[in-house]
Structure formats: C-alpha cells, structure tokens
Structure 1
C-alpha cells in the first residue's frame, strides 16, 4: 500500500506540475501578444514626446512580469486584456498600455532609485523593479500595502520596498529619486515630490479632478533645478487620497 500511495502522490504531483506549466506557457503567450499589440502605439507616443524611440528594455520588462499574479483570482482570465481591472478598496490595476507608457516616459536606467506613489497590487512597482536598482513605493490602503508586500516578496522582487502611508509626502529618507511615478490622479503636482526629484530626473503623474478629464503630465527637473511640465495625453485614474 505504501508503494501504491507514493506512486499516486507522484502521479498527482506530476499532473499538477504539468497543468501549472501549461498555464504558465499560456500566460506567457498572452503577455507577449499584449505587449506586441501596444508596443507601436507606446513607441510612437514616446518618440513624439521625447524625440527618441521607446527602449526595448521596457517591453521586455512587461513580458517578464506576470500580470495575472497582480489581479484578484476572479479576474485572472482578464489579466492580459488591455484594460484596467478592479483590485478592491475602490482601486484598480492600471491598463497595460498606460503602465508601458508611464514606464517608458520615465526613461528608467539600471542604477536608478525610483519612488512610486500608490502601490496598489504592486504591478507597476514590479515592472520598474525589472529596470532599476531600487523601488520605494507607498500605499495608503493598509490591506493593499500588506498584500503587495507579500506578493512582491513571493515573486522575488527583493529590490522593492513597500510602505503603508500617505505617499503625497514622498519618502524623504530615501530621496532624492531619479524618477517618480504617481498612479492616482492628483489635483496638482505635489510640491514634496518635486523637491525629492533629483536634478535630471523625471516624474510621471496624472493631474486633474476626480472622475473627470485628467492629463498625464511629464515633469522634468533639469540639472540646475528648473522644472518644466508637459501634458502627454488625457487619462482616467482613480483619485489620490490622503490628508493633504
């Protein structure tokens, strides 16, 4: 009986592994197809704004990050559609096109230290973690901060530090930052984030009233500390929350 039980266990385990591998391959193919579908549109926008094509590293990062791990189980079959999805607590995981665009506009480099306001499920942080040295991300909703911390650690993103709190004020102890990404719409560009942006750095932030027309803004600080902003395109993000 013991030998039979061991064989049953081995067979069941092998079947489970085969099923997991099949799902993994299916997800990888869906992910690649999604990235291929949005690559040209994002590249055209980035080239129009910055005058240079989108780096291929950004699309490779998008192909590497398993978006299905960052959505609720009930939404997994929708993970590789090019649309935002609810993640609970009135928050969403951003549309892949928007994640690709914001990441590309940030122009992340391997040695960069980046700050993210609004961790959500951790997807944008994971994409950035594929491209930079360190990501500091702050989430105001405690259960989302807790689940994102667990998820990112489980998936091996040990260069992401998640904190729970009001990200409007940035993270002064880790500043200055080479890049800053804001994943919720603010009524204005937060002065603390501008202050914590390193000369030569960029910030990507949606600005506008809640649940109305907003604009994705590119904020650049030159080497002398002078700041300029450019509107990239209209967007729709959930509003930034906090005590500010």
Structure 2
C-alpha cells in the first residue's frame, strides 16, 4: 500500500519518526510520498527522504497557503531545486480560498506557473483545493493540453466534481475525510471510477476514524483502504492492489 501524501518530515514527527515509519511498514504501507509546501520544508523533507530512501520519495512545489507578495522570487527558488534533485511530482500546488483571499491573484499565478513546470518536466501534479474546486477546475481546464496529469489530494467533493476531475484525466486522493461520519463520502465513494483512486493520509492532519482529532500517520492508510473496501463491497486486498497500481503508474514509481 502507498501513502501518496504524507508530511512525515513535519516537526510533529521529530520525536518518533522512526517508530512512525516502522508502524507504517507493519501495516503494509511500504511507500510514503512527501509533498513540499514552502521554502522551509525543503530541507527536512529531503533529509527524511535520505534517511528512508527505499520508502520515501519527494515532490517539489509551493502550497497555496504559503503564497505572498514575494511570489516570483519564491517560485524561482522552488524551481531551481528541480536541477538539483530528482522529484516524482510538482506538488503540493493549488488554490486555497478558505482562510484568506488576499493573495488570490498570486495563488492563481503560482498554480499556472507550476502547471507549466509539470508540462515542461513531464511530471504529475499534486493539487490542493479548499473552497476552490470550481476555480481550480476552470484554471486546469484552460491549461490541460493533454499532457497534464495528477491528483486532487484530500478529495471530499461530490460525484459530479469527481467526474469533472476524472474527465480532465486526474486522480482522486482519498484520505481520512472518507471515514468521517458526516463527511458525505459514503454517498460518493461507491460511484467513483476506481482506476482514478489513490490513498493518502495528509498526516499529521485529518486522521481517520477512530483516531479523528489526533495526529495522523501513514500507518492509518489501511483504515482509509478498509473504508473504501466496505463502501465498494470489495475485498481489502483488491482495494490495495487497485490503488497501489494507480499510484505506481501516476508517479512512475
């Protein structure tokens, strides 16, 4: 099983990162993909990848919540890393209109710029959307020339939104929200196209039930897989096989 979106380089794991990785392995999660968020996360992310080279793989991108007035300079620094290291994706990138719309124009500029990197470098993109699926889909539709591929991570939208995402050739990252009682995903997951589904935790955030509200970790990927299996009336092993195959293909692992 693959946790396709985990921030195990974050300070929340500084005291027990080894144990966290061991627990993941014990649950059959043998690969953990690390999305970058800003300039400060690069060093801890790459150090984590170096420490667990057979398990962790890094991405490079600028998260929309870290976009500000220095956007051009920040993007220049982020992009320079692609010449120094082999990354599996451009991410995590996107639009977030939940907290603050001050830098909305800058967020859109950063998103489009990074989509163009993905085209140039032939890499998938990992997209963060919060209160912004319509806006993100509109921008992505304009930029999609047939070469863009990737995932809308932490998907918690409707069946129609899922279809719109799939129609653009993009995957859906299912995580802890899929297990929430009032999350609404019990109505959506049975109708998803499984060839576009991958699993994730987004740890340390959004821990699945029964750990909701606590620190999330990659070992809990299996709880998401079990939830998908239950809602689809599939065997857990089948969900593991399908989502692992999808992730390997998408990220060229």
For the aligned pair, the TM-score class normalised by the smaller chain equals: 0.3 to 0.5
Greater relative contact order structure (CA < 8 Å, 6+ sep):
2
Q: Greater CA radius of gyration, 1 or 2?
A: 1
Q: Determine which structure has the larger strand proportion and give its number.
A: 1
Could you tell me the TM-score, scaled by structure 2's length?
0.33
